[in-house]
Structure 1
Amino acid sequence: MKEVLVENGQEKLEMSGSVNRVDEDVIDLGEYWRTIMRAKWLIVIIALSCVLAGVLSIKKMTPMYKASVRILADPQKPTTNLEPANLTPNLVSLFYQTQYELITSRKIAESVVEKLDMVELYRNQQRSTDQKEEDKTIFDFLFSSNSDSSKDYSDEDLVIYLAKRIQQSLEVSGGRQSQIINLTYQSKDPEEAALIANAISESYIQYGLSSRQGEVQDTENWLVEQSRVLKSALQESEQKLSQYRIQEGLVDTTQQQNLVNSQLQSLNSELINAQTRLSEIEEQYFALEKAKSNPEELYSSGPVLQNGSANSLVIEQGRLLQRVNELFERYGEKHPNMIAARSELKSVTENLAIEVNKVVENIQKEYRLAQVQVSNIQKLIKGTKDDVQSAQEKNYSLISLEREVENNRRIYDNFQVSLLESNVIRNYSASNIHIIDKASIPKLPFQPNPKLILMISLSFGLLLGIALAFLREAMDNTFKTPDDVEQKLPLTVLGITPSLIKKVGAPELQYITDSLTPFAENINTIRTGLVFSNTDNPPKTILVTSANSNEGKSTLAINLATAFSHLGRTLLLEVDLRKPSIAKSFSSNKKLGLTDVLSGSSIFDEANHLIKNEGNLSVLASGGMVRNPIDLLSSNKFEEVLQDFKLHYDYIILDGPPTLPVSDSCILANKVDGVIFAVKSQYTKVKVAKEAVSRLSNLNANLIGAVLTVADSKKMRNYGEHFYSDEYYGERPTRV
């Protein structure tokens, strides 16, 4: 039967382990809240401490004031050019980054120091401080936060020192999404904050104007100097060109080129006209040459017909020829009219031949003249081109000198234009930086911020308190509730013994004093669990033990024996022979006990102590101290006495020693029907209890269950609402 119980215990351990793994996978927010509520006073104390620290820090902080100036900064510099320049986003970003560095530069800070005469103000302040320091105590010097290291500075070093302080208190922002730059200055004095903020903005704008005018002045000086050099070079090149022209007898190459171009253009026009005329006459010439063999064709040619005399003679010849033909038909050849007509026709024909010959000769003359004219013009063109080529070969030096003069003049003119523009820009005093809002004197400090500091302090305190609560919970390796016992030990929890206040009386005698209390009801619950742990064969001999001493096992044994005495004859047997306590609990004067019975020096009736008002409860204390308790408890005599007790009592409750310090309980565990393991709430360590249970289990002890002793019901409610009430259920009977 003991082997079966051990196997059941191992199965319970495996089942509890699997349940724990399932529970670990589920996040129980209620458990977190209960952990916080268990440490609520710790959290409140830490939070209040942090708030108090925040209040003290606020009291010690020096109020700081902040004054701000809003500045409009245009990336495009003012210029006389009406067309705006195109700036890329990278250039705009670089511009504002440069402005930030410029505003926070030491140059601007030093100009503010000089502008406000801060060196003299600082000297005056130091003199007044020296007078006040004469009245200071040693504590004022020890706890003073002001440094006097700047007392012995020279004016130059003091300017640098004050400029660094201005730089440290200056903040610049903005210019990312707009052209507005926010300039903020912090100071202990509100008037000083506004004054320095405005001075920084004005110095920044003035520095920009001065820098730009300085650049313009430097550029203008350079342009003037270069203009002098260029003018001298231009005059020198012009003098060389003039001397060369006089020496070579040349004119301007441009004029010469224009003259030659005009001549060539005129000759080309004349050549075209001459060639056209030659083409026309040539056509007439070849037409007449072709018609010489045929007089009729010759007389009907264009040049002949165009000649007035020849044309009249051709007409007259035609008329006379028609008349001769008519007279021939009418009169014949011999008729005088016929003869006269033929004579007249002959005369006209001869005159016509003479005129035609004149026309042909004129055409021939015009043709030859046109040829000569074309040839002459071509010769003139060729001669002109040859002259130009010759002039170009001779004028290379002239052209080079003229080009040099032209280049020098162009450069000089450009510099003169730039110099004029520089004069205009120097007189143009517009700025691309403008103050939109000047700094006003702040009314309230921005540091310290009491609300923010207190909120941060409270939040930090709450978080720290909660963290410490969870840390304490994680480091607390004790049993707090019956659930803890069942989860961490392979034992069934039979019940608890509640903690009691001192005015109630000794906890060992609570059940005897009053059986109608929550404490007594919990003892009855444990008794019921023991009776029904094995319905077929309920345990008669029950050993009560624990891992270490002071864990409530004797209190549990005494009250449990009292509860069993209501069911039958019960013996409370003290087997803790090393550190007995039962006789003291019952205030018994008997010095005899178990050791005396086992040694044979006394009989049971002499050592037995019958409890008044509890007629079925007998108590046998440990008796006198022995040298080797373990030998006595493992002897056959003890087994015989225990068997004899079983014959006379229905229940025997053994108050045993702790398991870990001595091995007495391990010997006794195999001599009884069952073992109850006492675990003190918030005292017994888990590893210690596991070690004790493991020792008993390895010896095949019948561990019936565990009892959580000295359990505070109010504290257990913080671990779950299902834990116990400390109120008695029912009405007390009236005693007659």
Structure 2
Amino acid sequence: TEILGSEALKRRVIDKLTLARIDPKAAEKYEKGDPAERRKIIGGVVRSIEQDLTIATTPDAPVIRVGYEHKDPELAALILNTLLEEYLVYRRNVLIDPTSPVIEQQRIIFQQRLAEADQAYQDFLVNNRIGDFVAEKTSLSQLQAQIEQQKLQTEAQLQERRARLAALQAQLGQVAPEVGLYRDLNTAASDKLAQLKVQREELLSRYKPGARPVQDVDEQIAQLEQAMGEGRTSADGARRFGVNPVRQTVETDRIQAAAEVAALQRSLEALNEQLQQVMDRRLRLAALEPRFQALSLDRDVLMANVRDFSVKEEQSRAAQDIASRTNDNIRIVQRAAVPTKGTSLKRPLAALALLFAGFTALCAGLLRSFLRPGLPTPQTAARTLGLPVLGSASLKPVR
């Protein structure tokens, strides 16, 4: 119905039948007019055809009724049949999208540009030794955070080991390198005392306690005991010295602490080198990021364009298939013919005149009622003024 009622279809009918055949008077003006007037004349003829054309449809019925009224019945049938014939042709032109080859060409152009953009993108990644720019950037950020955390831990351990090494070195100066392992006691005085006592016992077996030999031995025993009591007979025996085990332990801990300090220093240097490498890599990626973003944006835009034109191409191809199948099902059931019986408008005109007269009389009466001065009845006065009417006088004619 939209195609049947379109202005383009009516212009096709005018072009096929010519303006002189449809409206001779308009054709004479068309020949004498300028381009602007010609466009107005063609537009007026199109509007006249549109006003006289009727298109009726029935719900759930695959039939369209088309009618056309004109003072010349033969011309009316000719215009309507030409309209239907041009409809079948114009319908195919409308439903078959003429832009399909253009869409396909544009899609091919975008695909070529996308291939070039992909190649530039891959060359950029290969030349800069990048696998995945976004993933590598994220991994470098995480790696830098891990290295910095490990560096802080190593620095804390290094400070601890250095403090421990300093404490061990201080303790090492306070510990003697050698200590006495053991010493022999001098028992000569006690042995002599025991010998004198044994000798006294032997003398007592032969002499009396008051005998001179016994007294001599007693004097020696008493003198020796006095000397031992005063400590005059004590003397150091044999002594043995050896390495101090405490110093050995401290020295071992110091050597171990020094080794740990050296290892931590080396580890800290390696962490600093790794951190510097990661930072250099991140700075390089930051410098390459604008170029990467530009290449990625170009690829994304071209991919979106290729996808959109592919969808449009498929839609156009589907529309063409549908149009080629549905056009075969459209046909003219009955062509327009000249009516054999005319229609009189006398009775409808008489009825319309009677209705118009009655409507005019009603309007005149209402106008007279609204324009009449005063109030027609006491009840109207009471309702209008909101006051009770106590009396009324009838009108008298004016003499």
Which category of TM-score, normalised to the shorter sequence, fits these structures?
A: 0.3 to 0.5
Point out which structure has higher relative CO (alpha carbons under 8 A, 6+ apart).
Answer: 2
* Structure number with bigger Rg: 1
Q: TM (normalized to structure 2)? A: 0.44
Per the normalisation by structure 1, the TM-score is: 0.27
| Structure with the higher fraction of residues in helix conformation | 2
